[in-house]
């Protein structure tokens, strides 16, 4: 299964969840991340945190969702947006048939630099719990309606 994690800038939250999925799924799924308006670089605190917990950073880069709309792009089974509430920021919208969910998390990059450690760790921990909950499910055998319901439930995990 392929999961595309979207956020506007693709520098923090989407990078974190992409890495968490790829680090913990034991090959059951492959995660990618992208942004509707990518910053062009991964936030340095994302890299610091992921490195500190032993994640492979060789593929970590900020990229546009256009890469995943191309004809030769991998087909996505799920698209998860991780930007905050609609009142705070605009989330990208992904067209097409993949199962979609919103797992909003407060943007750690919006914290002041002296609060980055805590803000990024909080976002990582929330996303990690959500990823673990998804990986506990038999996602390969769930129908779209059940998967959608489970993704919505998981998106409420703090």
Residues 42-74 have pLDDT tens digits of 999 999 999 999 999 998 999 998 888 888 888
Cβ-based neighbours of 148, under 8 Å, separated by 6 or more: 99, 100, 101
Q: How far is the C-alpha of 92 from the C-alpha of 125, rounded, in Å? A: 23
Tens-place pLDDT, residues 83-117: 875 445 566 666 667 899 999 999 999 999 999 99
Residue extents of the structural domains in the chain: 2-154
- Find the DSSP H helices in 2-141: 13-24, 44-52, 116-135
pLDDT value, residue 64: 92
Quote the Cα angle for 25-50-82, to 5°: 70
pLDDT value, residue 42: 96
What number is the average pLDDT over the span 120-140? 97
Residue % of the chain over a pLDDT of 70: 92
* Fold of the domain spanning 2-154: Rossmann fold (3.40.50)
């Amino acid at each position: 299964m392929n999961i595309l994690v979207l956020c506007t800038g693709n520098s923090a939250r989407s990078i974190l969840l992409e890495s968490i999925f790829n680090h913990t799924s034991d090959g059951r799924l492959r995660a990618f991340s992208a942004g509707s308006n990518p910053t062009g670089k991964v936030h340095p605190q994302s890299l610091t945190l992921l490195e500190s917990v032993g994640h492979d950073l060789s593929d970590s880069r900020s990229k546009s969702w256009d890469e995943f709309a191309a004809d030769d792009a991998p087909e996505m089974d799920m698209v998860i947006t991780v930007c905050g509430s609609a009142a705070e920021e605009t989330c990208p919208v992904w067209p097409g048939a993949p199962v979609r969910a919103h797992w909003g998390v407060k943007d750690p990059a919006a914290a002041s630099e002296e609060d980055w450690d805590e803000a990024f760790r909080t976002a990582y921990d929330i996303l990690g719990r959500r990823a673990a909950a998804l990986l506990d499910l038999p996602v390969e055998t769930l129908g779209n309606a059940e998967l959608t319901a489970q993704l919505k439930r998981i998106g409420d995990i703090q």
